[in-house]
Amino acid sequence: MKIKDRVALITGSGQGIGKAIALTFAREGAKIAVNDISCNEAKAMETVEELRKLGVEAELFLADVSKEDEVNSMVANVLERFKKVDILVNNAGINRDGLVHKGNLANWEAVMAVNLTGPFICTKAVLPAMREQRYGRIVNLSSLTARKGIFGTGYYATSKSGLIGLTKVTAVENATKGITCNALAPGYINTDMMNKYPEEQLKALIATIPAGRFAEPEEVADAALFLVADSSSYITGAVLDINGGSFI
């Protein structure tokens, strides 16, 4: 097992990509701290039960990653329950589309709060424990939109571009402490979010992808596992693209 007995805190892991990462890590022996917001508590508890059926320790920690007091309390509770935090995956995120010249400041601020401020707060909260134990793996979920200009993604793309900057600085500042920090930049993923688009629009989108399909959440999870494994200890500050050739 690649990460046996490691403790992984995964934000937004009640469903979607976060859940896939949690299940993949659990199959490799990790103990999982599932995080989500209170309105997703039911789905998050279902994820916890799935993880426990795999024979690993798993607990739910409710917190809004954009609120520092909630994050600090969450990390303190994770440390009390598991005694350490080895892995942080900053996965929680929201998306609100909008054209820049018609931009809505409230939407901009909401996206930044969760997608960029949230990872900063969570990273800041876990780093003291990681630095003390001289071990840590941080993975930030960026996006294809941070790698190429995509029409109508101004809020989201900017937040995910900023997250790459945070990734690189965190990597540099903690490299001597046994801590790595890397980012994943997924393209289009086959999640429930895709159900809101008409079939013809989905077909047109797939036609732009050289691989001819969307990625599965498990493929993103496998990439995250690669980055947190001990065998990747010399990889830090990197951005791993997972987009089927959409950005080369």
179 beta partners: 136
CATH code reported for the domain at 7-242: 3.40.50.720
The conformational region for residue 55 under phi > 0 = left, psi -120 to 50 = alpha, else beta, is left
In whole numbers, what is the pLDDT of the chain averaged over residues?
A: 97
Dump pLDDT digits (tens) for 90-127: 999 999 989 999 999 999 999 999 999 999 999 999 99
Predicted pLDDT at 214: 97
Given phi > 0 = left and psi -120 to 50 = alpha, else beta, which region is 188? Answer: beta
Strands, sheet with 7-10, edge to edge from the N-terminal-most edge strand: 58-62, 31-36, 7-10, 87-90, 136-141, 179-186, 239-242
CA 125 and chain centroid, separation: 16
Please, are residues 41 and 242 in contact by the beta-carbon 8 Å criterion?
A: no
Active site amino acids: 156
- Euclidean distance between CA atoms 210 and 29, whole angstroms: 35
Per-domain boundaries in the chain: 7-242
* Mean pLDDT across 138-165: 97
Q: Where do we find the tokens 């005694």?
A: 83
The whole-number pLDDT of residue 193 equals 78
What are 4-56's pLDDT values in tens digits?
A: 999 999 999 999 999 999 999 999 999 999 999 999 999 999 999 999 999 99
Asked whether the predicted pLDDT for residue 194 surpasses 90, the reply is no
- For residue 197, is pLDDT > 90? no
d(CA 118, CA 114): 5
pLDDT at 195 over 90: no
Phi, psi of 38 (to 5 degrees): -60, -35
